[in-house]
């Protein structure tokens, strides 16, 4: 009989579902510290948590029989994912169970801002009855701008359409068909900012999205626009928001999340044109029940069938399968990373083809690693070969696979092609000595590259002086060139160059390279 430990409070419906399973033994003990959890965890096959329990490497090492950790909710900051991966423990969450609740809170803030509800409530309670002062605005026919078009953003879009709003959205990792399916017009980031009457944020907090709404972005918005953030606090530069609200550059804002929680001492608290809630995105009875029941179902299914729904880390593979596939998986992952850096629009189809010796291993682990390389780092949850196919499907990416033992001139070759709009970018790679990855072509440019460290890829006219100009700029900026390969395409009178450099270049220095006459594109990739 499998044993499950519930160490945080779950909704009664989730507990009832667990108790209904005849082949499970349920033990509930909350409030455990690390030492106490280590003392009892060895007997359990599964651990169900929320945000309080800290599943550390020490706890996982003590969990001799543990097969799965289930987090009721989305965040897994309290779980050591690397240790779980190393020990073969599946970690799963419930990323969509509270999506509706969070989307509805964003809409509630839109209404609250539009009709001055907090101020109106205060006015009545204090006997002021300030009807003329509290003139509001209709939301019908206004433009609802959604930054981030995952599950929550798509629900907001559906609700916005139902309210008669014009819905626009920006997400660089979602295919155009997905926007159309949910009644949203796909726009670029600048258009989103400039046309928004209500800008609501629903993207993950990553290094590249931290302060995605700052001084420059707020300056592009209408003075009548309102900002709503029910996603992550770090998405908004609160100092910039304070200035924008003080100077009436935008009409108002509503925050449920903050750079520091709670936001004690924040100057925003003293403003009249902003409203607050204390991180209530998932705080409804329905959401609490939903995450509890969903994680209970997922964990039971895994224990009974081995199916890992919403898993965040790698499952165990047989030693033989891993040994045979690992070099090709590593190569495919690198190709995916390079492809993401070279393509400008959301990919709607990824083709993975393997040739020669690469066709002797199962293609699915190889193609999923290509997807991992393509999508890793773009979402708030870790992307790996357990969850990447589901993530790709959500983003509207179709995966096409093919394999043949024909060699195409190499003992083994992996070719991946990404399609975005009407453009395709194709890469091919091989292994030297069966384990050393090499990039051997980019589109129709044959170019052998060691894919490691920091690479610059330039596309430029094939004429004298260009390479010298680029080298001179790098040298004068104290950037050492470690490798350089050039390939030409005579029919186009163009060339592609891949340069290994000692340090990443700043955006300013990349622009200097791009300003060199005859240079069309410069891309930087960190591998």
What's the pLDDT score for residue 316? 55
* pLDDT band per the 50, 70, 90 thresholds, residue 293: very high
Q: Annotated catalytic, 459? A: no
Q: Which tokens in the block code for residue 37? A: 């959890």
Phi, psi of 459 (to 5 degrees): -120, 120
Distances (CA, A) of 189 to 33, 230, 502: 45, 19, 32
CB 473 within 8 A of CB 465: no
Bond before 385 cis per omega within 30 degrees: no
- 320 closest CA partner among 352, 365, 354: 365
What's the pLDDT score for residue 325? 86
Residue 75 has, within 13 A of its CA and on its CB side, a CA count of 13
DSSP-derived letter for residue 239 is H
Gap between the Cα atoms of 188 and 185, Å rounded = 10
What's the pLDDT score for residue 314? 65
Report the number of secondary-structure helices (H) and strands (E) in the chain.
17, 22
Return the residue matching tokens 């599946």: 90
Segment 467-473 shows an average pLDDT of: 94
DSSP-derived letter for residue 316 is P
Return the residue matching tokens 């205060």: 122
Gap between the Cα atoms of 240 and 440, Å rounded = 46
pLDDT at 283 over 90: no
* pLDDT band per the 50, 70, 90 thresholds, residue 383: confident
Q: 21-46, pLDDT tens digit by residue?
A: 989 999 999 999 999 999 999 999 99
- φ/ψ bin of 443: left (φ > 0), alpha (ψ from -120 to 50), beta (otherwise): left
Bridge-based pairing state of the strands 454-461 and 481-489: unpaired
Q: Which tokens in the block code for residue 212? A: 């995605």
What's the pLDDT score for residue 318? 56
Highest mean pLDDT among 80-89, 213-222, 405-414, 417-426: 213-222
Q: What is the SS3 assignment for 404? A: strand
CB 445 within 8 A of CB 496: yes
Q: From the CA atom positions of the chain, what is the Rg in Å?
A: 26
More confident residue, 246 or 95: 246
Count of CB atoms within 10 A of residue 12's CB?
12
User: Which of 62-71, 196-205, 393-402, 484-493 is predicted with the least confidence, judged by mean pLDDT?
Assistant: 484-493
Percent of the chain predicted with pLDDT > 90: 75
What's the pLDDT score for residue 319? 58
Bridge-based pairing state of the strands 423-432 and 445-449: unpaired
Helix (H) or strand (E) holding 214: none
Q: Annotated catalytic, 232? A: yes
Segment 323-338 shows an average pLDDT of: 92
Gap between the Cα atoms of 300 and 150, Å rounded = 27
Gap between the Cα atoms of 347 and 32, Å rounded = 45
Catalytic residue among 232, 330, 385, 460: 232
- 88 closest CA partner among 116, 69, 114, 115: 69
Return the residue matching tokens 């949850």: 381
Q: 294-324, pLDDT tens digit by residue?
A: 999 999 999 998 888 888 876 555 557 667 8
Helix (H) or strand (E) holding 193: helix 189-195
Phi, psi of 381 (to 5 degrees): -95, 150
Q: Which tokens in the block code for residue 292? A: 């509890």
DSSP-derived letter for residue 384 is -
Helix (H) or strand (E) holding 47: strand 46-49
CB 57 within 8 A of CB 35: no
Gap between the Cα atoms of 58 and 63, Å rounded = 9
What's the pLDDT score for residue 317? 53
Gap between the Cα atoms of 186 and 174, Å rounded = 9
What's the pLDDT score for residue 391? 85
Distances (CA, A) of 434 to 181, 326, 412, 451: 44, 11, 8, 15
Q: What is the SS3 assignment for 419? A: strand
Q: 223-237, pLDDT tens digit by residue?
A: 999 999 999 999 999
Segment 398-402 shows an average pLDDT of: 95
What's the pLDDT score for residue 378? 83
Segment 401-429 shows an average pLDDT of: 90
What's the pLDDT score for residue 510? 94
Q: What global pTM score does this model have?
A: 0.79
Q: What is the SS3 assignment for 171? A: coil
Residues 6+ positions from 271 with CB-CB distance below 8 Å: 242, 245, 246
Q: Taking CA 60 as the corner, what is the angle to CA 55 and CA 63, rounded to the nearest 5 degrees?
A: 120
Q: Annotated catalytic, 115? A: no
Catalytic residue among 261, 408, 492, 526: 261
What are the helix (H) ranges across 126-175? 151-162
Gap between the Cα atoms of 414 and 85, Å rounded = 27
Residues 6+ positions from 277 with CB-CB distance below 8 Å: 105, 109, 254, 255, 256
Q: 67-112, pLDDT tens digit by residue?
A: 999 999 887 878 998 888 778 789 999 988 889 999 999 999 999 9
First to last CA, the chain: 45
Domains of the chain: 2-97+286-305 (3.40.50.720), 99-276 (3.40.50.720), 317-443 (3.30.1330.90), 453-527 (3.30.70.260)
pLDDT at 488 over 90: no
Segment 56-60 shows an average pLDDT of: 96
């Amino acid at each position: 009989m499998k044993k499950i430990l519930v160490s945080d409070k779950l909704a009664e419906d989730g507990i009832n579902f667990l108790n209904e399973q005849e082949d499970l033994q349920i033990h509930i003990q909350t409030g455990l510290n690390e030492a106490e959890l280590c003392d009892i965890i060895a007997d359990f096959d599964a651990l169900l948590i929320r945000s309080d329990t800290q599943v550390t490497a020490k706890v996982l090492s003590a969990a001799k029989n543990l097969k799965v950790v289930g987090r009721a909710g989305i965040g897994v900051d309290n779980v050591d994912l690397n240790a779980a991966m190393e020990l073969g423990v599946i970690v799963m969450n419930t990323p969509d169970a509270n999506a509706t609740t969070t989307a509805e809170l964003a809409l509630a803030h839109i209404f609250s801002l539009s009709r001055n509800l907090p101020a109106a409530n205060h006015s009545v309670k204090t006997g002021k009855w300030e009807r003329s002062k509290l003139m509001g605005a209709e939301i019908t026919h206004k433009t609802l701008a959604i930054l981030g078009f995952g599950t929550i953003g798509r629900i907001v879009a559906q609700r916005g359409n139902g309210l008669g709003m014009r819905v626009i959205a920006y997400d660089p990792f979602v295919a155009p068909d997905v926007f159309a399916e949910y009644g949203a017009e796909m726009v670029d980031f600048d258009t989103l900012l400039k046309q928004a009457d209500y800008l609501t944020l629903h993207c993950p907090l990553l290094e590249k999205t931290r302060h995605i709404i700052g001084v420059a972005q707020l300056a592009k918005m209408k003075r009548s626009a309102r900002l709503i953030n029910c996603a992550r606090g770090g998405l908004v530069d609160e100092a910039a928001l304070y200035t924008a609200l003080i100077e009436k550059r935008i009409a108002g804002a509503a925050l449920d999340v903050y750079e520091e929680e709670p936001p004690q001492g924040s100057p925003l608290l003293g403003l009249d044109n902003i409203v607050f809630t204390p991180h209530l995105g998932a705080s409804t009875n329905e959401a609490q029940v939903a995450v509890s029941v969903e994680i209970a179902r997922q964990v039971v299914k895994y224990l009974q069938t081995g199916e890992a729904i919403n898993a965040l880390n790698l499952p165990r593979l047989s030693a033989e399968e891993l040994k045979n596939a690992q070099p090709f998986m590593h190569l495919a992952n690198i190709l995916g990373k390079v492809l993401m850096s070279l393509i400008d629009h959301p990919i709607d189809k990824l083709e993975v083809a393997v040739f020669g010796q690469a066709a002797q291993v199962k293609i699915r682990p190889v193609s999923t690693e290509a997807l991992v390389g393509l999508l890793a780092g773009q979402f708030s949850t870790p992307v790996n070969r357990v969850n990447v196919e589901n993530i790709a499907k959500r983003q509207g990416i179709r995966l096409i696979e093919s394999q043949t033992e024909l060699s195409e001139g190499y003992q083994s070759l992996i070719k991946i092609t990404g399609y975005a709009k009407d453009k395709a970018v194709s890469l091919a790679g091989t292994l030297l000595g069966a384990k050393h990855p090499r990039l051997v072509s980019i589109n129709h440019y044959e170019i052998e590259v060691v894919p490691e460290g920091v690479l610059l890829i330039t596309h430029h006219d094939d004429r004298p002086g260009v390479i010298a100009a680029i080298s001179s700029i790098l040298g004068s900026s104290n950037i050492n060139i470690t490798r350089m390969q050039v390939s030409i395409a005579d029919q186009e009178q163009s060339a592609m160059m891949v340069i290994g450099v000692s340090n990443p270049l700043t955006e300013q220095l990349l622009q200097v390279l791009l300003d060199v006459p005859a240079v069309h594109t410069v891309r930087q990739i960190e591998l």
